[in-house]
Amino acid sequence: MTRLKRYRYVGPPEILAQQVGPVGIVVADTPSALDMWLDDRRATGLDEPATFVVDRHGTLRVAPRQSEHVACAAGQDVLAAGEITFAASNTGYVVQAVSNQSTGYCPDPDCWPAVAAALDRLGIPHPGGFTAALTFRRCTACGQRNIVRDDDFACALCDGALPPHWNFDPA
């Protein structure tokens, strides 16, 4: 089995300092907790994505989109983070869209296996990969977190060259 990368929180320290406890729900080996959470959201519409993380134990955690990923993860390292949209089906719920969009953890698209494993364990159908995969890089010149767009590896703040490989690991 491939060893999955753990992502530490790399976002603003003031957001980390505001976290006092986990938000959302932990979805363990059965999707019933997720079903109940989604049933509650269904009344207002499922169109809005939810915040999600796969914690360091491989467990899916979900929270309302306005939640910070670090709060959803209870301040801990994660195997994956992003946004996920569910849709109702005849047999329950399916993942309609999923991304690695988390500027707090800046996970590389290679975190997909952790997401797939968590959803597969729960028996939740999914698209088989990120429907939107983002590439994050830290500028080595100014330290800014960047989302690489159109293969333009230039910092949005200082125009410095961004490295070709994920680089948020501690020095």
Q: Which residue spans within 12-165 are E strands per DSSP?
A: 25-27, 50-55, 60-64, 78-89, 92-99, 135-138, 145-148
* Owning domain of residue 161: 136-171
User: Does some domain include residue 47?
Assistant: yes
Residues 19 and 91 in one domain: yes
| Contact by Cβ (8 Å): 136, 105 | no
User: Does some domain include residue 147?
Assistant: yes
What pLDDT is stored for residue 30 in this prediction? 64
Residues 86 and 106 in one domain: yes
Task: Tell me the mean pLDDT per 10 residues along the chain, length 171.
Answer: 85 86 73 82 79 95 92 94 94 94 97 97 95 98 96 97 92 52
What pLDDT is stored for residue 40 in this prediction? 83
What's the start-to-end Cα distance of the chain, in Å? 27
What pLDDT is stored for residue 171 in this prediction? 52
DSSP-based three-state secondary structure for 86? strand
The pTM (predicted TM-score) of the whole model is: 0.91
Residues 100 and 73 in one domain: yes
